[in-house]
Structure 1
Amino acid sequence: MDYQHDIITQERDALLIIINPMRPNNNADDGPTVHHTLVTTAASVITSLLQDRLIANESDQIAIGLWGSRKVANDDGEAIVWPVPLGRVGPAALQFAEQLARDAPTILARYNLAQPTDLLPSSLLWSISSAFATLPAPSTLTAAAGVTVSYTKRVFLFTTLATPGLQLAPPDVTRNDRVVALAVDRAKDAAAAGVSLDLFVGHDGPFDLAPMYGHILRAFAREDDLIRQADGDLAVAEALVSRFIAEHVHEATEEHDLFAQVRRRSFAKRSQAAVAWRISDGVEIAVRLYSLVQETKKGAYVWLDGRTNRALRRETTLLDEATGAAVPATRVGSALEYGNNLVPFSPDELTKLKSGGTAVGLDLLGFKDRALLRDWHNVKHASFVRPDELAAPGSTVTFVALLQTLHRRDKFALVRVTPRASSAPRLA
C-alpha cells in the first residue's frame, strides 16, 4: 500500500452558508413572502459560528448567500446573491451576519424576491460548484515546501420551503419531473467533486423531503456506490441511505436547538494521518487517525513596518562565521557532535533517527486481556481509528471483523504507531 508520507497536507474548511428566506405559500396568487423568523434565527446562529471561526481557524473559507433573492427586479438569472463571497473568515462576514440578525427586513429589502417556481435547485447547485471553483491554490512557497492544501467543501442550507422550483398550483407533473431530474444530476456532480450538503429546517409545520430534497440527498449519499458496497443488497443499501439522510437533515424548533445542531456540524472531521495498519505478513488495511481533542490556538500576530504600517515578511539568512558572507541553502548541512568530532547526516538520515527507522503506519504487536489496561497507561489523548475504504477497498470488512472478535474475546490490540516519517514511534 503506497502512501506519500513526505507530503504534508493542510486541511482547511470551505463552507457556504445559504439562507432561503422564502416562506412556504400554497396560494401562488399571494406572491412570495419572507420568513423573517427563520432569517433572524439563522443569522444569529451564523454570527456565533463566525465568532468561533475567527478564534479557532481564521484560514477557513466562508461565504454567505441568499437563495430566492435577486439583485435586479425581473432578472431571469440565478435566484441567488452572495452578499459575502467566498473568502477567509473576516470582519465583513461577521458584520453582515450581525446586521442580518439585528434588522433582517432592511437587509432583505436591498434585493428582490423571486417566485417559488424560479428557485431551481439545479441552478443553486451550479452556483455552489462555481463558488468552490474560486478556492485559492497553494502559494508558491507552500508548494515548494512540499505542503498541499485540501479543502472540505460543505454547504449549510437554512430553509422552510420543501418544494423549491416545483409547480404545484396547478401541478405540472412533466415540468416537475424535469426539475427534479436536473437537480439530481447536478447533485451527483457536486458529490463527485467532494461537496457535502446539510439541510437545516426551521419549524414551520411538517417538512416533506419526498418532493425534492429526498432525491437531492440520495444523490449526495452516492446511492449507486452504497449498493455496490452492500454487494447488491438493496435493503442494506436503503438503510445506509436512510441513515445518511437522517445525519444531514436537522430540524429545530428553537434558536438554541438550531445553534447546537449547527455547532455540532460546523467543524469538519480532519484526519491526522492516512496510514496502513499491518496486521501480519501480506495482510494490511488502510486506516485514518482522528484526534478526539483539539487545542484552540491563538492566531499568529503579524509584524508591521513602524513607518508604513505594512505587513513584513520574515526571512532567515545563514552567515559564515569567518567571513560574515551569506551562505546559500544548498551549501548548508546537518551534523551531530560525537566526542570532539562532527558527524554529518543527510536529511533522510535525520528523519530516520526521529522515527527509529520504523515504517510509517500501525504495526500489530499482539493481543492482551482488557483487564490488564490501567488508566495511567494513557499518557496522551486517544486517537480515533477509522477504516479508509476509498484508499483500500475491503478495509472496512476486515476492520469490523477484527473489532468484533476483540470485543467478543474481551481483548485489545497492542500496536506500534508511527503516524509520520518524522514522528517517533509509540505504543497504542
Structure 2
Amino acid sequence: MSYYQSHSYGGGDDNDDNGEENDEEFNAEQTRQKLEQQRDCLVYLIDASPPMHQSLEGDQSAFRAAVAAAAAQYRSRIINDHRDRVAIVLYGVDKANNPLGHPAVLVLQDLDEPSAARIAQLERLAESNDYFEAEIGTTDSYSLSDALWVVNSLFSKSAKKDDHKRVFIMTNTSNPHATNPDMQRLAITRAKDLHSNGAVLYLFGLERVAAPAVSDSVQSDGDAMFGFDFEAFYKDNIIQSSDLSNDDDEDEEEARFFNASGGLAVLTQRVEQKVFKKRSVFKCAMVLGDGLEFGVRGYNLVSEVKPSTHVYLVGATNEEAMIQTSYVCKTTAQQLGKSDMDSYFLFGGQKAVFTADELAKIKNYGEPALRLIGFKPKGTILRKPYYNLKHSTFVVPDEESYSGSSSIFIQLLARCHEREKVVICSYMPRRGVSPRLVALLPQMEEYDEKGNILKPSGFHLIHIPFNDDLRKPPAPEFDIRAKVPLLEPAVKVFNDIIDKTTIKNFTVYNYPNPTLRKHYANLQAVALKRDEAEEIEDSTLPNNTAIQRRIGKFVPDLMETIPAAGDADQVPVKAAPKRKTAAAAADADDGDADVAPKKRSKAAVADGDEEDLVKGAHSRGELNKLTIPILSAFLKQKGQVPQKRKDAIVAQVASLLD
C-alpha cells in the first residue's frame, strides 16, 4: 500500500499520525519544545540618581546608555524571544509609581512581552534628558532595598515557577548608602529574598565623571575615580557566590560582574553576553568500565544562528494558520493512522518491510552514555582538522546526577593533559540516536594577568568520522612540486602580497553575519512601523581601496613573473573550440585543400592520436572522463555496437582493452 502526505491549513489540533520520523530530530525537537516552555523573565533595574546623569563623552550619560542598551535588547527580543517577559524598574527618581507604594522607585514598564510601543518609549527616553526631566525627575534620596523589593513583587505576581528569572542591575555607584549601614543590611536582606525566589542577579558597573563626594547614596572611599569598584559593596552582598544554584547557568563567579565602562557600545555588548540563556546540550553518564561511571554534561561553544522562520497566515483573515499533517493511501484515498503503515528500505531491488516496533528495536543501542574506547596521542586529532564532522561541545562534570563526578573528572582531565592524550569514546546523548565516534580533547584553565579565567577546564568533544564517512578525492594530474621552481619569481611576489594583506589581531567578533543583520533590520522596521530599515554594514566585503593601496604595486611584477602560455617549459592552456554552423563547415570543406579542417567527423575520432587518447585514459583509469561520441566511435572502429548508457559504454571499452 502506498501513501502520500497531505497538509491542511486551518483551526484544530495537530494530527498525531505523523508517520515515520527521524528519531534524533524528533527527540531534539521534543527537547527544544520543552525548553521553550520555560520563559525568560528579565528585569532591568536601572539607577536613575543624579550621578547617572553626568555627561560623558559625546554628551552621553550613563543613564541614557543603560536605557539605550535595554532598548537594543528589546528590539532583539521582539523578534527572537517574543514569549519572554521584560520589565524596566528605575530607582532614584522623583516621581515614584510601583505596586508597593515605595518612594523613589518607578516601574516604568511592567513584566510583559516586548512591544513596539514599549521600545518607542525607551528610545524617546534614551535620546535626550528632556523627556526624563519633564516626566520623571531624579533624586538622591532612595533605598536600594525598596527597589529590590519591588522587583521581587513583579516576579511573584507575573512569573511562573519554572520561568528563568534574572535581574540586570545597572549603576555607577559602587557603594550605595555608605554612611547608613542599616539601609545596606536591608538591601542585602532583599537580595537574599530574590535569591530564595530563584532569581539570578547580574551587575553592570558603569563609569562616572569624577571622584564622588561623601553622601548617603554614594561611596565614601573614592576608590575609583572613573571605574567601578565591585568589591566595595555588591560582591558577596547583593551578588552572592551562591547566586547560581541552577546548573544550567555558568559557574564562573566573574560571569555575574560586568565592567561596562566605555559608553553605550561596551554596555550593549556586555548585556548581549548575558541575554542568551545557556542550557546544556546533553547530560549523561561517562562509562569508564563495568561499575565505574560518573556524570557529565555538554555545552555548545559555537552554535549557528539562523534567521527566524516565517508563520503562515490565512489570507482572508490574517489569522495564524494551523498545520495539520495526515497520510492518505495513494490508491484508495483512505486516511491512514500510524498503526496502519509500515516502512520499507530497498535492498538489492527488493523491499525490506519493517513495522514501527521493529524499527524501534533496530535503532535501540542501549542507554545514553559516553563510553570509553581508549586513548590516543593528541596529535592524532590535531593534525587532522578535517576530521571534525561538526562543531565541538564543551564537556564538564555533572555533580547533580552523580555525586563525586567532579573528583573523577578532574583526575582524568589532568592526567590526559599531562600525557597529551585524547579520549576516544562512543557517544550516544539520547535514546534512539545512533552512536557516534568522538574524541575528548583536554583543556586546562588559563588566566589573565588579573587572575580572571580566560579558558575554563574541561574536555572538547570532537565528532570524528567512521571508516564509512571517509572520502578520498582524486589526485591532481600534475605534480605541483615540479612547477614551483619554474614559478619561483612569482612565489616571491606572492610572499610580499601575503605579508601586506595579513590581518593582524584577527577575531570573528569583528564579523557579524550580514544576512542575519539585514533580516532582523527589515523585521524591526516593519514591527516598529518605520519608513526604512536600518542600513547594515557588511563587514565581510573586502576593502578594495586598502587592498589596492597595499598590493597594487605588486600586480605588474606578478604579471611579468608568470610564464607566458607559449613558453617551452610551460604547458599551454587550450581554450575550448567553438562549434561551427553547418554553413561554415561547408565553406571550410570547399576552401583551400592546404587548410586543415577545424572540425573532425565522428568517424575520425578513433583514428591516429585519438585511439592513443582512449588507450591512455584506460591505463590511467579515466575512461569515464571521455565523452560518449569518442568512446562510441572507438567501439565502432573496432567493430563493436555501442550500448546506450555511458557506464555500459565505458565497460565495453574497458573489456576490449583489457
Bin for the TM-score computed over the shorter chain: 0.7 to 0.9
- Partner residue in 2 for 1:130: 156
Q: How many residues align?
A: 374
Task: State the alpha-carbon separation in 2 of the partners of residues 37 and 187 from structure 1.
Answer: 29
Among 65, 73, 94, which residue is 1:49 paired with? 73
Q: How has the CA–CA distance of structure 1 residues 267 and 340 changed in structure 2, closer, same or farther, with 3 Å as cutoff?
A: closer
Report the secondary structure of 2:344's partner residue.
strand
Report the secondary structure of 1:311's partner residue.
coil
- Partner residue in 2 for 1:159: 171
Task: State the alpha-carbon separation in 1 of the partners of residues 255 and 324 from structure 2.
Answer: 51
Report the secondary structure of 2:237's partner residue.
helix
Name the aligned partner's letter for residue 172 of structure 2: T
Task: State the alpha-carbon separation in 2 of the partners of residues 423 and 37 from structure 1.
Answer: 53
Report the secondary structure of 2:50's partner residue.
coil
Q: How has the CA–CA distance of structure 1 residues 105 and 364 changed in structure 2, closer, same or farther, with 3 Å as cutoff?
A: farther
Task: State the alpha-carbon separation in 2 of the partners of residues 122 and 418 from structure 1.
Answer: 44
Identity of aligned residues (%): 25
Q: What does 1:65-104 correspond to in 2, within 5 Å?
A: 65-69=89-93, 70-72=95-97, 76-77=101-102, 79-104=104-129
Task: State the alpha-carbon separation in 1 of the partners of residues 365 and 108 from structure 2.
Answer: 53
More strand, by proportion: 1
Among 361, 368, 374, which residue is 1:366 paired with? 374
Q: What does 1:322-341 correspond to in 2, within 5 Å?
A: 324-327=333-336, 331-337=339-345, 339-340=350-351
Task: State the alpha-carbon separation in 2 of the partners of residues 83 and 154 from structure 1.
Answer: 17
Q: Is residue 215 of structure 2 the alignment partner of residue 202 of structure 1?
A: no
Aligned-residue CA RMSD (Å): 3.6
Q: How has the CA–CA distance of structure 1 residues 103 and 58 changed in structure 2, closer, same or farther, with 3 Å as cutoff?
A: same
Task: State the alpha-carbon separation in 1 of the partners of residues 158 and 291 from structure 2.
Answer: 41
Name the aligned partner's letter for residue 128 of structure 2: D
- Partner residue in 1 for 2:42: 15
Among 227, 230, 240, which residue is 1:219 paired with? 240
Task: State the alpha-carbon separation in 2 of the partners of residues 79 and 422 from structure 1.
Answer: 57
Task: State the alpha-carbon separation in 1 of the partners of residues 340 and 122 from structure 2.
Answer: 51
Give the conservation status (yes or no) of the 8 Å contact 1:180–1:212: no
Q: CA deviation at 1:219?
A: 3.3
- Partner residue in 2 for 1:231: none
Task: State the alpha-carbon separation in 1 of the partners of residues 362 and 316 from structure 2.
Answer: 46
Task: State the alpha-carbon separation in 1 of the partners of residues 336 and 421 from structure 2.
Answer: 57
Q: CA deviation at 1:244?
A: 1.7
Report the secondary structure of 2:303's partner residue.
coil
Name the aligned partner's letter for residue 287 of structure 2: R
Q: CA deviation at 1:414?
A: 0.6
Give the conservation status (yes or no) of the 8 Å contact 1:79–1:119: no
Give the conservation status (yes or no) of the 8 Å contact 1:203–1:252: yes
Task: State the alpha-carbon separation in 2 of the partners of residues 424 and 24 from structure 1.
Answer: 59
Task: State the alpha-carbon separation in 1 of the partners of residues 149 and 417 from structure 2.
Answer: 49
Give the conservation status (yes or no) of the 8 Å contact 1:218–1:245: no
Name the aligned partner's letter for residue 37 of structure 1: S
Among 396, 418, 431, which residue is 1:408 paired with? 418
Name the aligned partner's letter for residue 22 of structure 1: S
TM-score, normalised to structure 1, is 0.74
Is the deviation greater in 304-313 or in 87-96?
87-96
- Partner residue in 1 for 2:605: none
Q: CA deviation at 1:372?
A: 1.9
Name the aligned partner's letter for residue 183 of structure 1: R
Q: CA deviation at 1:320?
A: 4.8
**Which protein has greater RCO, CA pairs closer than 8 Å, 6+ apart?**
1
Q: How has the CA–CA distance of structure 1 residues 109 and 336 changed in structure 2, closer, same or farther, with 3 Å as cutoff?
A: farther
| Runs of at least 5 residues in structure 1 that lack an aligned partner in the other structure | 26-32, 136-149, 226-240
- Partner residue in 1 for 2:273: 264
Report the secondary structure of 2:418's partner residue.
helix
Q: CA deviation at 1:41?
A: 0.9
Post-superposition Cα deviations, 1:318-365, rounded to whole Å, max 9, x if no partner, equal 345565454455x4444325635633122xx544544x5143121111
Name the aligned partner's letter for residue 169 of structure 2: L
